[in-house]
Amino acid sequence: MSKIGIIGGSGLYEIKGLVHKSRKKIKTPFGKPSDEYLTGEIGDVKIIFLPRHGKHHDIPPHMINYRANIWGFKKLGIERILSISAVGCIKKGLKPGDIVILDQVIDMTKSRRSTFYDGKEGVVHIDFTEPYCPELRQIMIMAGKRIKVPVKDGSTYVAVEGPRLESSAEIKSFSILGGDVVGMTGMPEASLARELEICYSGISVVANYAAGISKNRLTVSEVMLAMRSSTEKLKLLLKEVFATVPAKRKCTCGEALKEAKI
Ligand code: HPA
């Protein structure tokens, strides 16, 4: 049986259709995860769901215990995580409501505990050439094609500290650097998952035009509205992924620590 972890972002605090639900409170050496892990099954796949901001959305991006969240998944035996998040779009051609399968990262966060290896367990430098699991990315893209839910392939995610939104000069500079979308939670999730040899895939819903691209002031309600209106598409996509994901991984994420330790 395949087992998949899902991290739900803004506007996604539960997964409908989970059967045999139970809630698991997990203790970690890094403190408390954002919430209990909701476990259940959809078809033949065991699903473990965690709302990143807590089920009442009371944890802001810079206060999320990213290490505890990812460690909790590892403790529950998860080898693959699909991480869902809201983003603002920078690149021309993207628009609110689009679903984007991320493939690169530019990390602009500043305050976060971004490794499990602070020295006691040895010094570790994981390879991050491809921040997202290439196999999971392909599974997502092919699933979208099969069920005709359009997904955009090939976006670079700029991770910012938040919780404030960006200035228009910041967005302009991210655009020059090659950023396509901007969000507050994608890092250090991706690299922490790699350190624990978990496959990680970033699925982002474009919630708004980023600062300066939109003529209007950005509002939280437009972000929430875009997330809610994309939920149906997202659900169809996830259902197809669950139905087709092979039980065994073929990627190299499971060997990330090989040749990474000093
Ligand atoms: N900037 C940063 N994070 C976001 C945005 C944005 O415009 N929209 C949704 N998350």
Q: What is the CATH number of the domain that holds 130?
A: 3.40.50.1580
* pLDDT at residue 226 is higher than 90: no
Mean pLDDT across the stretch 113-124?
A: 91
Residue 91 lies in a domain: yes
Helices (H), 119-219: 134-147, 168-177, 186-195
Q: How much is the pTM? A: 0.95
Mean pLDDT calculated for residue range 121-141: 95
Which range scores top for mean pLDDT: 20-24, 121-125, 218-222?
121-125
In a domain, 55, yes or no: yes
Enclosing domain of residue 130 = 2-255
Give the pLDDT of residue 13: 66
* 261 lies in some domain: no
Q: How far is CA 127 from CA 122, 197, 207, in A?
A: 16, 11, 31
Taking 70 as the threshold, does the pLDDT of residue 240 lie above it? Answer: yes
* Within-domain flag for 235: yes
Would you say residue 116 has pLDDT above 80? yes
Pocket probe for ligand 1: among 91, 158, 161, 208, the residue whose CB has the most ligand atoms within 8 Å is 208
Angle between helices 220-244 and 134-147 (to 10 degrees): 90
Cα 63 to Cα 37: distance, rounded to the nearest angstrom: 18
Among 205, 143, 211, which residue's Cα sits nearest to residue 175?
211
Kindly state whether residue 262 falls inside one of the protein's structural domains: no
Closest approach atom of ligand 1 to CA 166: 1
What are the Cα distances from residue 251, in Å, to 71, 114, 219, 229? 21, 23, 39, 33
10-14, 185-189, 226-230 — which is least confidently predicted? 10-14
Residues touching ligand 1 (Cβ under 6 Å) are 86-88, 160, 165-166, 182-184, 207-208, 210, 218, 223
> Hey, how many other C-beta atoms are within 10 angstroms of the C-beta on 114?
15
Strands 181-183 and 151-159, sheet pairing: parallel
Domain presence at residue 260: no
Name the domain count of the chain: 1
Average pLDDT across the chain, whole number: 93
- 205 domain residue, yes or no: yes
The residue ranking higher by pLDDT, 10 or 229, is 229
